[in-house]
Amino acid sequence: MSIALRRHMEAIVPLTDAEFDHILSYFTTKKLKKHQFLVQEGNEVLHEYFVVKGLLKASYTNETGKEHILQFAMEDWWITDYQAYVNQTKATLNIDCLEETTLLCFSAENKKKLCAESHKVEHFSRMKTTSGFVALQQRILTLLNNDAQSRYELLLAQYPLLFQRVPKSLIAAYLGVSRETLSRFSGK
């Protein structure tokens, strides 16, 4: 079950069995059903989560009730309200399950300890964050440079699997388009 995490980490840093067991001891497991919330607006965010199985979304809902999706997370992805997790502030995002989900939970405190005691883990974390950073820059450029339709097509090309697991209305909320508009060009 935690073999997924090991594979995920070993793609960046090699680990001995003992090292991995030690790392794993800093994680706890959590299972959630579809529609359950992992993080709710206004609450503290103590953990970062690694998705072993399932699918979630992190979203912001504004005063007018409109929901914008900041990220999806499926197997081998990490998710949390990073703003709140990093700065130890209250969540502004909601994170909930689109499917039954199994997670490995990494508390900010444990992450800090483990990164301090293990250069390998710190390195792994830096690498992961760096690729996340690059991906976010890419997404910003896509938002700035492309109209709704080409954003849709780019996402479809990049994550075809996502479209089989997520309703189109949520894809729209991720792309920053109304579901009606998205519907109009998903047909072509």
Sites of contact with a second copy (CB under 8 A): 60, 62, 66, 68, 70-71, 82-83, 86-87, 115-116, 119, 122-123, 125-126, 129-134, 136-141, 143-145, 176
Q: Which of 7, 31, 66, 119 binds DNA (CB under 7 A)?
A: 66
Q: Is residue 17 near DNA by the rule CB under 7 A?
A: no
What phi and psi, each to the nearest 5 degrees, are found at residue 50?
-105, 125
3-state secondary structure of 13: coil
How far, CA to CA in Å, does 71 sit from each of 65, 100, 180?
18, 17, 21
> For residues 31 and 86, which CB has a smaller minimum distance to a second copy in the complex?
86
> For residues 102 and 149, which CB has a smaller minimum distance to a second copy in the complex?
149
User: Of these partners, a second copy, DNA, none, which one is at the site of residue 168 (CB under 5 to 8 Å by kind)?
Assistant: DNA
Q: How many CA atoms lie within 13 A of 74 on its CB side?
A: 9
Which residues, at least 6 apart from 20, have a Cβ–Cβ distance to it below 8 Å?
A: 6, 9
Query: Is-contact 92 41, C-beta < 8 A?
Result: yes
Q: Which of 148, 155, 156, 174 binds DNA (CB under 7 A)?
A: 148
Q: Is residue 63 near DNA by the rule CB under 7 A?
A: no
* Alpha carbon distance 75, 52 (integer Å): 5
Q: Is residue 142 near DNA by the rule CB under 7 A?
A: no
Chain contacts with DNA (rule: CB under 7 A):
66, 147-149, 167-169, 176-184, 186-187
